[in-house]
Amino acid sequence: MVDTEFPEPQPGPSWEQLRVRLACSAGVAVLQLVVFWEFVIRSLPLLWPPMEPLSQWATFLMLSAGSFVVISGLFGTLIADQLYKRYLVDDR
């Protein structure tokens, strides 16, 4: 008899896959920094000291930093999963 009330737990990604994801995310972050280098250089004076209104400064700070983290994490994970499935998974 199969107990349908409690499904079988699904394991998460392996440590090897997480390392591939982290490496690809770091690579995408570096590529993103290279592509948007001029924007980063022009934005640095706007980040410190904080300017008035503080809500506008905080929004700019979160969008600037968040975009690098979110975009590199998203695309890095997508690329890493494809590389992992194609080249690193041992299909026995």
Q: How confident is the model over 6-37, as pLDDT tens digits?
A: 777 778 788 899 999 999 999 999 999 999 99
The rounded distance, in Å, linking the Cα atoms of 21 and 83 is: 9
pLDDT at 45 over 90: no
- Yes or no: say if 72 and 29 are a contact pair by the CB < 8 Å rule: yes
Q: Give the count of beta carbons closer than 10 Å to the beta carbon of residue 24.
A: 22
Question: Rounded distance, CA 21 to CA 79, Å?
Answer: 8
